[in-house]
Every structure is written in structure tokens, then in C-alpha cells.
Structure 1
Amino acid sequence: MKKAGVTLVDVAKLAGVSVMSASRTMSGEGYVSEETRAKVQAAAKQLGYAPNAAARLMKGGKTNVIGVVVNDLTSSVVNCFVTALSEEVRKVGMDLFIYNSLGDMGSGNGARISQMLHGLWDGLVYVLPRMTDDYLETLEKSSSPIVLINYFRHETTLPVVRGDNVNGAHDAVRHLVDLGHRRIGFVRGNAYTGQSDLRERGYMSALSDAGIELDPALVYQGDFSQQSGFDGARELLALDAPPTAIFAANDGMALGVLNAIREKNLRIPEDISVIGFDDIPTAAMTQPPLTTLRHPFGEMAQAAVQELTRRIQGQPGRRQRIEFPSEFIIRASTGPAPACSTSRRSRRQRA
């Protein structure tokens, strides 16, 4: 904490350097030798001095802070991205500011949030943004450097770092087809970021490639929550011809699917296979461990921070779209299709 009355002049005097050199050191702008930088930093630490961000902003300086805007801090995927972003931001000598919008990315709120946060950060990263078209348009008109992570809903002039969804989902369903499954359920998520639609596209294309006609009864509308996965699996398992495998559009819903299957006294994967998406930390610790798809959180965070810092520094961005392939992680929740689904139904009815 900065001691009362300690100024940059005091720091410069203790370090034995000019006030200009001390200012350049603390602001990170302009050249100073490594020897001078070390002296100033040591003096600032000894005196308990910290640069006044507000004063620096009034002079047109930088805050050396990157803001991260999220919708839901309870989301495991959001937390994975925030953790990875925090590590990457520190690598470039900056700090992280987290703003939880609590889903408040509706019409008209873009300008309000932008004004509220103005001056607190040099650039912003939006993680899995659930935003309206009006909100997106406000961000596109902003002069501030902004990068979106895993936004797919609409084309945008803003730079986007994202993971592949279509091919990953196709790989997942193809894996089930190769195991002999023909009735494959799908629990979709909401449409906010566009990811669920793309994962559904991969699901449908894999079925089509295998010559399997899509049965609308096997598709359940979830909302990415564990509860919706549980409800969806219950509904799918109640069908006269239930699926022998269920693909959930995220791991959270897949966890709910696992719970619903256990409730029906069915075995995983002997009676029914399950696949999720995202590879959240708990995916490897479920019983059985969950087969899923993984986006490289660390590499995506690194790309987002690098793209943002280039724009903060006034350099041209490298790419508007940076896409990373998903990695298919096969674990014990998937296995060959059961030889006779009728025996599975009769066992469920006896339970």
C-alpha cells in the first residue's frame, strides 16, 4: 500500500536518479537503463510507493491492466479461461481485472458497461460472451482494443479466438458410430455464443456420413446446465426406443446425463455411452471418467493476450480469426453398443 505523502520525487531522490527517469520506470514508457530501473524499483518498494493509475490516465498514460468480461463465474469453462488468461497477462507484465456481467449483455448495456469501465483497462477480453446483436455492435464501434474468446453467433469485425466445434463434434459422433451405435441422442445447449449450433452441426453431419437418418426425438433442448443434462437424459431414456449413446454439448450437461443414467440403474458404458465437450477438470474424475473434447485453454488465452497487446501498442492485428482444433479425449464412458437394447429396457423397468 502506498504510504501517505510518498511521491515520485521521493522515489527519484532515494534512487539517485532524475524524476523523469523515475517516471519512465514506473510508467513503463520510454527508455531507461536496467541499472536505473532496478534502483527506482528498489526505492519504490522501500518507500511503499505505487504509481497512481488515475493520475497516469489524466496524462494519457496506460493502466497496464487487461480487463476480462465474463457472464458467469460459476462456469468451469469460464474459470479455465480466466486462469489461463491470468497467467498470460502476467507474462507480459500486466495485471488482470475481472468484471462479471451476470448475463447483462443485452440491448443498450454495451455502452453503459463500456463507459463504466472506461479508464480501468487498456484492452478487454470477452470470454464466451452471451451478447445481443446491439451489444456486439456497440463493441464494434468502440475505439478500445477488444478480443472475443469462443464467440461464434455472428460474423464480427472484432478479432475472435476460438476452438473448433464442428469437426470435434463430428469426431465424437463418428467414434460412437464406429462402436456400433445407431441411436445417438444429443443434448444441445442454448444459442448465446453459437457453440451449441456448431456442435449440433457436427453431430448431424456425422450421422449423415454414416447413413443414419436423424430422429428429432433424440435431440433435447438443454441450456448448458447440469440440470438440463439430467432432464434431457431422463426424457431420452423414457423413449420407446431409447438411445444407446448420448452426446452432450458440454461437460456440465454430460455430468447430468451420467446422473440420470445411474438413476435408471443402467451401466456406463455397457448399457449406454456418454460423451461431453470441453474437458473441464472434473471430467477425468467422474465414474467412469468422461470421454470428451478439449479446447486448448492455455494456447487460446496466449493468442488472445498477444493479439490484444499488439493492438494496445498500436500495432496491426495479425488475424481476425484464430481457430484451434479440438482434441478428442477417449475415456471409459464410451464403449461398444449393447447387443440388444430390449434387454436394457426390461432391466430398467425391473429396477
Structure 2
Amino acid sequence: MFDKHKKRLNNYNKILLIYVGLLIANIILYVSLIIAFHQDIINGLTNFGLINNIFLIVSAIIILGFISTRLPQFRKKEKGSIYEIGYLILFGIVSIVISYFNKSTEFDFIVMPLLDMFKVLSVMLIMTLIATKTKAFKGVISGHVTRKTIIYCFIIFSILGILSSVYYVNVDGTPSDVRNLIILISGLFAGPYVGIPSGIIAGLFKYSQGGATALPCAVATIICGIIGSLIYVWNNKKFPKTTHSAILMFLFIGFDMLLIVVMTPSYISITYIRNIYILTVFGSVIGMVIFSMILNETKRNKFSGISYEELKIKEMENTLDEFNDRIENLEEEIEELKNQKPK
């Protein structure tokens, strides 16, 4: 019975199982948070000042979106003056909205941690971008993986994984970092020989820093490297699409938070998640999207310099790999049908 189910699991279904598992973990986390913060949620719903601010934010976004989508039409009609005046009005509205919320809400408390996280993220991504310009990284991008490139990538991502635990945003004594972002990228980009050992090193370093959440954070980091590596193998050694990788990053942060809930006392975990969950999601998901865009741009530049014949050969090789996977899945299904006993 188990053999039959095992044969049915092709690579796509295996990846899907990871996403579903992480989604279930996120649902459990959200249920736990709703139970823990139910009184705060009720107070928020009855706080008309908060509702008013949310309504104004949504209204401002709708107005700005409507204006920004209509302005290019004036430019196409060569009504340059209306186009320029429109954007002046647009910037004026943005300034008024920012000024209003700066006075009416705790603007610094909300925005400053996000800006600090963006600074941390920028440092990590700049280092990663520099690394992608090296010969070893270009070799991985083009599919020419050697022992030397694996060792080089392992060293780079291990260093970045350690640095991501050193550089963080402090929110009321709670550190928020992009450690899981770096480790997940290492697995998705370079595979198990880089993602798993880098995750172990970054996890052990995180554990060595101590703290109430050191153990769950270390465990999550190691699991992160394993998940990224598995998806790399099952996805034909290709980095996932931008949307897929961003969703994966979002779901894994929720899984990380759930581990903290399970492995630490509630009075610690709830405060921890309240302080850093949104901030960590922001930094990690934005970072994954930016890295994916950088990687795609690097691939385009890589293939822009080759001849048409070489590009066609590369496309045919990719197509052949896809057909080989399909043939393998069909062979497994045929074998399963042969092994079934006739009624």
C-alpha cells in the first residue's frame, strides 16, 4: 500500500507537499495567535480611531492607484502639462498622507523598524549580489556545478548566514533578522551540498548566541536549509519562480514562529512573535523577491552574450529534461498498473 503511494509522488507533488505542510503550520500558528490576542483583536475592532486610520489608508491607496494608472494616458495623448501637473498633485497627496499619519499615529514605532530592517536587508543583498558576480556563482547559474563552486558557495552562504545573525533589528529587546532568507536561498540556489551544511553552521551559531529562543531558531534554520535543498533537487536544480519562492519564504517564517510557540514558554513566545513576526516576514519576503529578480537578470545577461544556436541548444536541453521527468512518471504509473492484481 505504501509503495503505491510512494510511486505516485512525482517531484511536483513532493514540492506541493512541502508547501501544504508549511501552510498547515501557518494555520496552526494563526489559530494560536487569535486565541492569545483575541482581546486585543476585539479592542482593535471597537477602536474607531484605528478603523478610521485604516479606512483613510485604503482610500489613499485607491486614489493614488487610480491617478497613477490614468496619468500615462495623458502622456500618450501628448498632453504633457496635464501629465506633469497630475504627478505634482500625486506627490502632494503622498506628502499630505505621510504628514497626517506622522501626527495621528505612532509613525516612528511602525515605520522605523521597517526602515531598519531594510538597511539590514540591503547589506545582506549587496553582499549576495557581489557574490553572484564571481565565476563560481556564474557557474552555478549556467548549470556547471563543480566541487570548487560548491565549496565556494558553501563558504559564502555560511558567512552570510552567520552575519545575518549578527546584524539584526532590535525590537524591544527581541532580535529580528533575515537568517532564514539567506539559508533558504542557499538551498534553492546551490542545492543540498550548500544549503544543508550552511543551515547547520548558521543554526549552530544562532544557538551559540544563547537566549530563550535559541534552540527553536537553530532548529528552524537547519530545517530551512533542508527544505531549500529538497526543492532544488525536485525542481530539476532550478531556482523557483519569484512568486513561488516568495510564498515559500512567507510560509516558512510562519513555520519558524510556530516552532518558537511549541518550544518556548507562552509568555516568551507570544511577546517574541508580537514584536518581530511582521518585521521578519517583511524583510524575508522582500529579500527573496529582490534576490529572485537579481538572479533572473543575471541569467538574462548570461544568455544574452551567446549565439542563437547555443541558446536553442540550452532550451532544447531544458525541454528534454522536462520530458524525461514526464517519461519517468509515466513509467512509474505503468509499473504500478502492472503490479495491480486483476479483480
Length-normalised TM-score, structure 2: 0.26
The structure whose residues are more often strand, as a share, is 1
Larger radius of gyration: 1
Length-normalised TM-score, structure 1: 0.26
The structure whose residues are more often helix, as a share, is 2
